[in-house]
Each structure stands twice: as structure tokens, then as C-alpha cells.
């Protein structure tokens, strides 16, 4: 079973953080991205956890930019780095006699209930299922919300 974690860019300094996603309603419904505040519970500071016998925990919540939220896909790249939605990856694609290196960004398709890669550097393929066994050697090269990567 994969862990359900998220990453997003911090509002205060633009750095990426990952952890549990917490949504806080701003007197509106969660129907559309941007109508709520999003926070990531920082899981990196193990000292912030209090004793379970005290019946409470002390977590640090970091406000993030809502549109940058990406969910962990359950897969890691060749460098053992977690791959999240909105990450841009390169990968080897082998189909019949075709063997090429492609680049694309990950997005969850709600209708198909699967992760897909939107291809950026090929005119023939526009979108591939992320679980396609013809794809190998994924490497994260950026995120669609990093200006230098797009």
C-alpha cells in the first residue's frame, strides 16, 4: 500500500515541503482550488511529536500555495525520489521498434482513475498511462510550478 502524502510550495518562501495535507475552509466550500487555505503538516521534525500518553501532539503547520499541491503517485524515480502530481519527468519509452526518451508532467485523471503523463516533447504521443510497463527509468527534472523547469 502506498503512503498518501502531498507536497506543495510554501507561501512564505516558495520552498517545497511534503507531508499530510490539511485544508482550512475560508467561509466558502472546497469546490474549487483557491477557495481554501492549504497547509502541510511538517513530518520532518520528529522532536515536535509529544508523548502519546499526554493525549495530544504538537505539529507545525506550513501554509502552502494551493495550486501547487501534488499527491504522491506511489512511485519513486531512478534516484529514489518520490514522484508527485505536477512533477516533470523524463523516461525511456519502448514500444515495438520505437525506443525514445520522452518528457512529460504527471496529472491524475479523475475520469479514468489513474495517473497520466502529459507528453511535452513528442508530437505523436500526447498522454500515456503512468502505469504503462513500456516506460522505464523515470527521473524528476522539475515541476510545472517551477519556472526554470517549464
Q: What is the dihedral of CA 102, 140, 110, 135, to 10 degrees?
A: 40
Q: What is the CA radius of gyration of the chain?
A: 18
- Binned at pLDDT 50, 70 and 90, residue 61 comes out as confident
- Mean pLDDT over 87-111 rounds to 90
| Long-range own/partner contacts, residues 16-23 (CB < 8 A, 24 or more apart) | 16/143, 17/42, 17/62, 17/64, 18/43, 18/72, 18/82, 18/84, 19/43, 19/44, 19/62, 21/69, 22/61
Stretch 42-46: mean pLDDT, rounded?
Answer: 55
pLDDT band at 129 (very low <50, low <70, confident <90, very high): confident
Q: Is 142 left (phi over 0), alpha (psi -120 to 50) or beta?
A: left
Assigned CATH for 71-143 = 2.30.30
Q: Which residue has the cell 517551477?
A: 146
Determine the average pLDDT of the residues in 48-73: 67
Above pLDDT 70, what percent of the chain?
Answer: 71
Cα(130)–Cα(64) distance, integer angstroms = 26
Residue 55 predicted with pLDDT over 60: no
Selected residue with higher pLDDT from 26 and 39: 39
Q: Is the model more confident about 148 or about 46?
A: 148
The reported pLDDT for the residue numbered 121 is 83
67 versus 95: the higher-pLDDT residue is: 67
Mean pLDDT of 8-30: 76
Domain ranges in the chain are 6-68, 71-143
Give me the chain's average pLDDT, please: 79
Beta-carbon contacts of 133 under 8 Å, excluding residues fewer than 6 positions away, are none
What pLDDT, on a 0 to 100 scale, did the predictor assign at position 23?
Answer: 73
Amino acid at each position: 500500500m502506498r503512503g498518501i502524502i502531498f507536497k506543495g510550495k510554501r507561501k512564505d518562501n516558495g520552498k517545497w515541503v511534503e507531508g499530510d495535507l490539511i485544508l482550512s475552509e475560508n467561509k466558502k466550500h472546497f469546490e474549487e482550488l483557491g477557495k481554501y487555505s492549504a497547509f502541510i503538516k511538517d513530518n520532518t521534525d520528529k522532536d515536535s511529536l509529544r508523548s502519546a500518553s499526554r493525549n495530544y501532539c504538537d505539529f507545525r503547520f506550513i501554509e502552502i500555495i494551493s495550486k501547487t499541491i501534488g499527491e504522491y503517485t506511489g512511485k519513486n524515480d531512478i534516484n529514489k525520489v518520490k514522484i508527485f502530481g505536477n512533477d516533470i519527468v523524463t523516461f525511456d519509452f519502448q514500444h515495438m521498434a520505437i525506443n525514445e526518451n520522452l518528457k512529460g508532467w504527471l496529472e491524475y485523471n479523475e475520469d479514468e482513475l489513474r495517473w497520466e503523463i502529459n507528453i511535452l516533447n513528442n508530437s505523436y504521443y500526447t498522454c500515456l498511462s503512468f502505469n504503462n510497463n513500456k516506460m522505464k527509468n523515470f527521473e524528476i527534472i522539475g515541476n510545472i510550478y517551477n519556472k526554470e523547469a517549464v
